[in-house]
Amino acid sequence: METKIGYYDQIVGATMTNIIVSTIENKGLVLDNFNPHNMDHIYFFEIAMMTSQIQGQKFYVNIGLFDYFILKMRNWKRRQTFKRYSKKVEAGMTDVQFLLDYMTEQLQLDKGVYEVIYNEYYKS
């Protein structure tokens, strides 16, 4: 069990590092190509919320209004952490699926590992 948790921590650490680098490169974090019904994307969203709280800045999600309200209701206590993307935001887009695919390839991960980590750590 210890090695599995250490393995998951390495993946979460790599995700946080990629989010921080993307935030620096794009002068902010805007999650693009985000699907709130995909568990891998929800995992990425949770890590983005944690990272933005550590950095002390908000991030933006490029989704439809209805999905945005559902996301806000699910994360009511941390609702101040993220906002819906608007054209006024001057930050580059971060393609969630591209970044997850890149990490899966580089770290040689199984396809369902992000959903497993989400269920282990964040699902309540």
Tens of pLDDT, residue by residue over 17-26, are: 999 999 888 8
**Across 43-59, average pLDDT:** 90
R_g of the chain computed on alpha carbons: 14
Rounded to the nearest angstrom, the gap between the alpha carbon of residue 102 and the centroid of all alpha carbons in its chain is: 14
pTM: 0.88
Domains contained in the chain, number: 1
Domain that holds residue 91: 2-121
Q: Cβ of 40: how many Cβ atoms within 10 Å? A: 20
CA atoms of 101 and 30, how far apart (whole Å): 18
Res. 1 pLDDT band, cuts 50 70 90: very low
